[in-house]
Amino acid sequence: MDGPAMAALLTLLKYANVLILVASLIEAVVLTIRRGYDWKATGVSVSDFLFREYPLHWILPLAFWNEGMNWFWRHRLWTLPMNHWSGWLACFIGQEFCYYWYHRAAHRTRWFWCTHAVHHSPNQLNLSAAYRIGWTGRLTGSLLFFVLAPLFGMPPQIVLMLLSLNLLYQFWLHVTWIPRLGPLEWILNTPSAHRVHHASNLDYLDGNYGGVLIVFDRLFGTYIAEKRTVPCRFGLVQPMMTYNLLTIEFEHWRAFLRDLLSARSIGEACGYAINPPGWRPDNKGETTEDLRRRAVQQSFIAGQQ
């Protein structure tokens, strides 16, 4: 990538915050006129965004994770040719691969879910939901999934820039008014695929983790297509009905701490941290697998009656 192109990307990222806030405001006005809109929820999202991007950005810098990535870069196995398109393509695919596993872990490991649940807490899907991300991501170590990328020749600053572009791309996916996009559904993460990801319907749980690409979901068996007969119900499985920002930010951490204190052994405590949300040591939890198993059992019982 040449100098002018790189400068254009950096400029885009510089003004991205303003662009997404303005775009979400325009959508809010249009949806208010057409069918109603939850302005209180948007207020929560804006508050989450502003606190995370400004005061929290200075309180919790990325220095630790940057140093980790720089260490692996100094000990890299090879160097990708960043003066050639093939190097950029390799970095893009590598970053997408890392993001897929980070996002999958954010849903399937409770430690990470305690932060990521904030993003899934809105009960309406709109552009403002895109930037409700939560405040504790840097503390939980979400960048751990990207630290090894420089070992394989991906410059740390390029990885972080592509991650920023990845998240910026996903902004437009948080809508209900864009239909399925035909053949693009096979390659790209689209609004339809992302609606499924944000849905709390049992049919849709734990799917479509991709960032820009959806190919890793198809490759690893986590792709779920949107069904016309199953409208998406947005929000958490147990909906968050409050507009209290602190409750939304920390309720899942509070519940996690309560479970840790109730653990009868180190093994149980570790189980609460690394197993999927809803896991219980007595096998009577509410993980996705538990809920689906019970649904099958109830369907079978109903069929026998």
- pLDDT tens digits, residue range 103-138? 999 999 999 999 999 999 999 999 999 999 999 988
Whose CA is closest to 140, among 253, 275, 218?
A: 253
Q: Residue 9's pLDDT is what? A: 65
Angle at 148 between CA 146 and CA 154, to 5 degrees: 85
Q: How far is CA 246 from CA 8, 35, 133, 207, in A?
A: 37, 29, 13, 28
Q: Report residue 188: phi and psi, to 5°.
A: -100, 155
Residues whose CB falls within 8 Å of the CB of residue 151, separated by 6 or more in sequence, listed in order: 72, 73, 75, 76, 77
Contact predicate 28/110, CB 8 Å: no
Confidence of residue 8 (pLDDT cuts 50, 70, 90): low
Least confident among 1-5, 127-131, 160-164, 242-246: 1-5
For the chain, the first-to-last Cα distance in angstroms comes to 66
DSSP assigned state of 276: P
Q: Residue 67's pLDDT is what? A: 87
Whose CA is closest to 148, among 45, 249, 205, 65?
A: 65
Alpha helices in 109-173 (DSSP H): 110-116, 137-140, 156-170
Q: Residue 219's pLDDT is what? A: 98
Helix/strand/coil percent split, the chain, to 5: 65, 0, 35
pLDDT of residue 139 exceeding 90, the answer is no
Say which residue the tokens 């897929």 belong to: 100
3-state secondary structure of 125: coil
Contact predicate 149/94, CB 8 Å: yes
Q: Which one-letter amino acid corresponds to residue 269? A: A
DSSP assigned state of 243: -
- And the tokens for 270? 């570790």
Bridge-partner residues for 199, per DSSP? 234
Contact predicate 203/230, CB 8 Å: yes
| Average pLDDT of the chain to the nearest whole number | 92
Spell out where the chain has E strands: none
Contact predicate 127/21, CB 8 Å: no
Q: Residue 6's pLDDT is what? A: 60
- Average pLDDT, stretch 178-194? 97
Angle at 47 between CA 256 and CA 27, to 5 degrees: 115
pLDDT of residue 102 exceeding 80, the answer is yes
Q: Residue 5's pLDDT is what? A: 58
